[in-house]
Structure 1
């Protein structure tokens, strides 16, 4: 008679403790989130470009005015980038705190 158990070790549930990495969404989810955020903010990017173009076409613009417009555009783009970063972090934190992750954690404790 064999003393080998009737199950394969790979069929056993994992008994290891879960850590923060177990609550991390996968890379595909993160990539899709970034794309969705970029698409959502595209109208703001376009509006910043359109505003700059409109100001430049209004009348002859001197060097100082061009520099001011360039700085305003740069600031608008920086603000949009910060919005995207903040939104990404909020969505990521929300996903990490989803109940399904915590249920998995509790089941393995």
Structure 2
């Protein structure tokens, strides 16, 4: 499959976070298809990758929080929201992602 081909050709070391981005995009597709459990697995793979794009990381956590909300997983929801806010602030300033993430807790 295309996924296997891409996954098997990721350079090592993965300086540009290709694996993380690949997992993120697959998770977004699974979410759009309402396959929330599969989406969560790919979001977890994305954030646990050894290298990733710090600018997109808050968005990955935000999407993970949305998925946790759909699954009724309040513990992961709170953790992902806090991670979205923390990584957003670590990038130097708070952006819209923090606001969106915090709204998920209301």
TM-score by length of 2: 0.27
When you count helix as a share of all residues, which structure comes out higher? 1
Q: Of the two, which has the highest radius of gyration? A: 1
